Every structure is written in C-alpha cells, then in structure tokens.
Amino acid sequence: MAEALDYTDRPWLDPEAEPFIKVQSVSKHFGDFTAVDSVDLDIYKGELFCLLGGSGCGKSTLLRMLAGFETPSSGTILIDGQNMNDVPPYERPVNMMFQSYALFPHMTVWNNVAYGLRRDKVPKSEIQQRVDEMISMVELDQFAKRKPHQLSGGQKQRVALARALVKQPKVLLLDEPLGALDKRLREQTQYELMNIQEQLGVTFIVVTHDQEEAMTLSTRIAVMDTGRFQQIGTPTEIYEFPNSRVVANFIGNANMFEGRIIENGPDHVIVESNDPKCEFFVDHGMSIQEGTKVWVALRPEKVRISKESPANSSANTIRGMVHDIGYLGGTSTYRVQVDGDHMIEITSPNMMRPRDASPPIDWDEEVYLSWDASSSVVLTK
C-alpha cells in the first residue's frame, strides 16, 4: 500500500476533499457578448486562488458573480454546499476588496471598518474590539480617525483589506488588489497579503492581469482567455507545463517553434522545425501520430549560450549570432539571430564576475545555443 499522502497544502489533489466553492458550467452573457463561457471550477478551503487573464477575458465578471453583483445566465455557483444563485450580495458569506478600494469617503477609517459589523448587529463592545484588532493588524492605529482622502494609496489599500476581513468571511474576493500601488509597495504588500491569508486561513480568490503577482501569490492559477479557462494549475505547472501556446505566451516569455513530429519513440519524440531549421529531441513519449503539426516552446532561461560548440549531439543545438544584449545586472538577456532572421531570446545568469568591464559574450559574436532534452515543451494547440 502507498503511504498516506499529506494533502494539507494541496487539497485539490486529495480525492476525498470536498471543494469549498463549486462553479458548475456557469455562463454570463451581456446581450450578444459572452463574458464567461460555461466554466467549471473547484476551489478548496484555504486556497489562494488566482484568476489570471488580460482585460476582457471574463475574470472580473466571474468574480462579480461570486460576490453576487451579477447573476449567471446559466449554471450554478455553490459556496460551502449552498446554492448562491438566488442569494443577494448582502447575504453571502463572502466579502470583496474592490480595485478602487471603494472606501466610503464620508466615514473615518474606523467607521469604514466597522460598517460591516454594524450591519450584522454585532454588539457594540465586540465591534469595538474586533475593529481595533483589525486596524492594528494592518498597522493603521494612528490613522483610525482619518477620512479616506487623508490617506496614501498603500494605506487605503490596507483599510479596504481590513474592512473586508473584519467580518471574517469564508471567502475573500480581491479584484486587482495591488493594481493601484507603485512597484516597490506592491512587492511588499504582496507578502503581507500572503501572511495575512496564512494567518487567518481565509480562502482568497484574486483577480489579476499581472502574471508575476499571480505567480508569487497563489496556490493555484486559472489562466482565462475569451471567457474560458485555458489551464488551471499550480504556478509551476502553468509555467513549466503549459498546455497551449496561449498559456505559454501569457505566462512568462517563450520562444515558439512550429514543426512536425518526425519520430515518435516510446521514450522520446523528435520534432523538426523548418523555420528556423532545427531539431528538437524531447525525452518523453507522446501519444501522437508522426507527421502531426506541433509547436515547441522553449523558455529563455532554459537555453545555454556559449562560444564553443557543445560536446555531444547535433539535436537541441543551434548556431547563431548575437544581435542584442540586455544587461540587467543579475542576468543578461540575449537576442540571438539564427537561420535567417529568426530571433531566439535567452536569459542567462551572470554567475562569474568578469575581470574587466567587457562582456564575456559580445555583440555580433558567433554563439551556440543548446538545451536539455527535458527543457522544451511540445504543444499541440
């Protein structure tokens, strides 16, 4: 017998776990426009789940359906086993943090945070205590008596978070939570958000268009495009094993090659690409016919660049000329021209400190690009 697996951090792998939120073939139409197209989704307790996609992909509409501001045209949404279709927003066990923060401008910070508890008729002394606690958690004690317009962007963001969390919702919905902050504040807030989520154990559903944000924050990501999920998985799965060109291109950068399967062995496949002329040896078998048209995605950081020809094989190697170098300090980005005017992008860490300021690989130099048989990803769509 296999030993019992620990699923605490990965509840979606546990066959016995009951999803906390079930979205069942939900669609939303606005007139002729289909914003969300028959999607299914299971989200488990304690997850930090990201809906990732470009603008107009339907992620915000889905979030608004979870909050209750839109009703699905068809399908059902279950939260904690309860059908939410006819439940108005003010009776749902979820709270939302708005992209604009939507702080009530005529109330102080303290009253903003207390608003939800007052609506629930919580006793006064308890309100006092819970609001004070929440305000200290987001470190806004000295700002409690301020009005929203007297706060900076980061402070407003924390008020919005406190206001949404003080009711201890089962699920917190966050619409572009870091979108309005500048870069430095964003990175810092990202980790704060993760700590708070871990501390309170609330299920977070985050909508974002920022892939970096999604990668750092989430336990799982759903990549959305034109109202459908392209792929749902952990950040690693999505990045290392994308299931389509859309996903591979949306998450991080990828060099994309179009080609055909020319050999299909039990433990390997070989893909031949014509433009640029190149062969890919991939170290796993695929249930696919020889001759099928496929695409190969190759991440820039998985390609080695060197001036000497790599020792072994001719597959997974290509010769080219350095066209551009972007020196970023820790890493360098090279754009290498291969076989005509095809460009391949490579990111390479600058591990050695050079003896002088001249770069180890220079513009217009002949270089060899090579990669491991496990590095390339074969995509069929």
Where on the chain is the footprint of other proteins (CB under 8 A)?
Answer: 67-69, 88-91, 94-96, 98-100, 102-106, 115-116, 119-120, 149-152, 154-155, 163-164, 167
Q: What's the min distance (Å) between Cβ of 121 and other proteins?
A: 9
Q: What's the min distance (Å) between Cβ of 363 and other proteins?
A: 41
Q: In this structure, are residues 115 and 131 in contact, taking their beta carbons and an 8 Å threshold?
A: no
- Pick between residue 95 and residue 230 the one whose CB is nearest to other proteins: 95
* Sheet (strand 203-208) strand order: 94-97, 171-175, 203-208, 48-52, 220-225, 228-233
Q: What's the min distance (Å) between Cβ of 198 and other proteins?
A: 23
Q: Which of 196, 243, 199, 201 is nearest to 222 (CA)?
A: 243
Q: Can you tell me the distance from the alpha carbon of 241 to that of 376, in angstroms, rounded to the nearest whole number?
A: 10
Residue with tokens 């307790």: 45
Q: What's the min distance (Å) between Cβ of 126 and other proteins?
A: 15
Q: What's the min distance (Å) between Cβ of 188 and other proteins?
A: 10
Q: Which of 248, 280, 273, 291 is nearest to 340 (CA)?
A: 273
Q: List the structure tokens of 223.
A: 């990549």
* Sheet (strand 278-282) strand order: 278-282, 269-273, 255-264, 293-298, 377-379
Q: In this structure, are residues 273 and 259 in contact, taking their beta carbons and an 8 Å threshold?
A: yes
- Pick between residue 103 and residue 269 the one whose CB is nearest to other proteins: 103
Q: What's the min distance (Å) between Cβ of 358 and other proteins?
A: 40
How would you class 112 by CB atoms within 10 Å of its CB: exposed for 0-12, middle for 13-18, buried for 19 or more? Answer: buried
- Pick between residue 120 and residue 263 the one whose CB is nearest to other proteins: 120
Residue type, 193: L
- Pick between residue 146 and residue 319 the one whose CB is nearest to other proteins: 146
- Pick between residue 90 and residue 354 the one whose CB is nearest to other proteins: 90
Q: What's the min distance (Å) between Cβ of 174 and other proteins?
A: 12
Q: What's the min distance (Å) between Cβ of 122 and other proteins?
A: 10
Q: Can you tell me the distance from the alpha carbon of 163 to that of 113, in angstroms, rounded to the nearest whole number?
A: 4
Residue type, 133: E
- Pick between residue 75 and residue 89 the one whose CB is nearest to other proteins: 89
Q: What's the min distance (Å) between Cβ of 203 and other proteins?
A: 16
SS3 256: strand
Q: Can you tell me the distance from the alpha carbon of 348 to that of 328, in angstroms, rounded to the nearest whole number?
A: 10
- Pick between residue 43 and residue 122 the one whose CB is nearest to other proteins: 122
- Pick between residue 119 and residue 307 the one whose CB is nearest to other proteins: 119
Q: What's the min distance (Å) between Cβ of 210 and other proteins?
A: 20
- Pick between residue 99 and residue 350 the one whose CB is nearest to other proteins: 99
Q: Can you tell me the distance from the alpha carbon of 299 to that of 222, in angstroms, rounded to the nearest whole number?
A: 20
- Pick between residue 188 and residue 313 the one whose CB is nearest to other proteins: 188
Q: Can you tell me the distance from the alpha carbon of 139 to that of 120, in angstroms, rounded to the nearest whole number?
A: 25
Q: In this structure, are residues 356 and 262 in contact, taking their beta carbons and an 8 Å threshold?
A: no
List for the chain the helix, strand, coil content (%; round to 5).
25, 35, 40
Helices and strands: H and E segment counts in the chain: 8, 20
